[in-house]
Amino acid sequence: MKLLTHNLLSSHVPGLRPGGGFPLKIELGHPSELPPEPLPDYEANEEFLRRLHHVLLEVEVLEGSLQCPDSGRRFPISRGVPNMLLTEEEA
Amino acid sequence: CGSGLSGDYISEEGHYWIGMDISPAMLDVAVEREVEGDLLLADVGHGIPFRPGMFDGCISISAVQWLCNADKKSHSPPKRLYRFFSTLYTALARGSRAVLQLYPENSEQLELITAQAMKAGFTGGMVVDYPNSAKAKKFFLCLFVGTSGTLPKGLGTECASEELQQAKFTNERTRFRNVKGKSVKKSRDWILEKKERRRRQGKEVRPDTKYTGRKRRPHF
């Protein structure tokens, strides 16, 4: 699963407040090579864009889990595919 | 998403895609094929788990009709359909289009699916390719978010409408056939056809002459 996909994912557990299912927390220890905040001139900065492209589209999460910030529900990731299936009580 | 066949076409056009399927086996095939898009193991009847307005389009091939099946006692097909369509509507941006190819079992299913889609806020409609063919007939549910676009024309519809608009005038004498397209029983045509059938079966048949099927005197 690419990080760009993680940016789009939101938890669909019913009963959350609007906007409450995002962002899902990725649980694995992964150091980021990006500065914590975008630099003011980011569109022109080629080096930053390159690193951003690498992190978003070339880094894949293979094993780990995603945690919903509001309900705490964990979605495991295996072989790069997150398992978002809900149990019958949840759906 | 299945094994990601449609996804390959999407990648070829240079777009980024995410595929969803309820079957881990199908997703395994997609992983083996090293598809470019990302995959999610999910049940679309539970909802499309994305933030609002993230996508510009949606393609589905032969998937939506499965939402009509209640696989578990707790499933309610209309609810699942509505959940799917409403979350899909949210995940698509303004001006997006969704095209869902499906195989509805009957017209009630078709109506149920279309009704839930309209309830969720989509505009659009059904496009049918080759409506007169039993084999080639394909249903495409074309949905628009926001702007109401024009529906594409179904394939095979031009030929059908041409035939209906023209009435044939010929000078030939036409032999009458009954409604089913078969000759009336015991008429000369029927006798000739039956003899032809038996010849094809390899049986011994008298030759056809001007006396074949001729009206006999009443005492026969």
CB contact under 8 A, A10 and B49: yes
How many structural domains are present in chain B?
Answer: 1
Residue B213 lies in a domain: no
pLDDT-derived band at A43, boundaries 50, 70, 90: low
Looking at the predicted structure, is the pLDDT value of residue B78 above 60? yes
What would the pLDDT profile of B140-175 be if each residue is shown by its tens digit? 999 988 876 777 887 775 544 444 445 555 555 555
Residue B154 lies in a domain: no
Strand ranges in B10-164 using DSSP code E only, listed in sequence order: 18-21, 38-41, 55-61, 92-102, 123-129, 138-144
Least confident span in A43-52, A80-89, B50-59, B82-91: A43-52
Residue B178 lies in a domain: no
Residue B60 lies in a domain: yes
The H-assigned helical ranges of B17-94 are: 24-32, 77-91
* Per-residue confidence (pLDDT) for residue A84, from 0 to 100: 86
What would the pLDDT profile of B30-66 be if each residue is shown by its tens digit? 988 988 888 999 988 888 888 888 899 999 999 888 8
CB contact under 8 A, A8 and B51: yes
Q: Exposed, middle or buried: residue B40 (CB in 10 Å: 0-12, 13-18, 19+)?
A: buried
Predicted TM-score (pTM) of this structure: 0.70
Taken in order of first residue, the domains within chain A and their CATH numbers are 3-27+39-82 (2.20.25.10)
pLDDT (mean) for B190-217 = 88
Q: The tokens of B5 are what? A: 């066949």
Per DSSP, the three-state class of B96 is strand
Looking at the predicted structure, is the pLDDT value of residue A4 above 90? no
Nearest C-alpha of chain A: how many angstroms from B101?
A: 23
* Per-residue confidence (pLDDT) for residue B21, from 0 to 100: 92
Question: Residue B98 sits in a domain of what CATH number?
Answer: 3.40.50.150
CA B46 to chain centre: 25
Residue B214 lies in a domain: no
* Per-residue confidence (pLDDT) for residue B173, from 0 to 100: 55
* Per-residue confidence (pLDDT) for residue B65, from 0 to 100: 87
Domain that holds residue B80: 5-145
Strand partners, B50: A9
Residue A5 host element (H or E):
helix A3-8
Looking at the predicted structure, is the pLDDT value of residue B185 above 80? no
CB contact under 8 A, A21 and B18: no
* Per-residue confidence (pLDDT) for residue B168, from 0 to 100: 54
Looking at the predicted structure, is the pLDDT value of residue B103 above 80? yes
How far is the C-alpha of A37 from the C-alpha of B91, rounded, in Å?
27
pLDDT (mean) for A48-53 = 77
A5, A10, A83: residue with CB nearest B38: A5
Q: The tokens of B146 are what? A: 């926001």
How far is the C-alpha of B105 from the C-alpha of B135, rounded, in Å?
14
Q: Does B1 touch chain A (CB under 8 A)?
A: no
CB burial string B135-148: b at 16+ within 10 A, e below? eeebbbbbbbbeee
Taking alpha carbons only, the member of A61, A73, A52 closest to residue A28 is A61
Q: What's the Rg (C-alpha) of chain B?
A: 27
The owner of tokens 């041409």 is B162
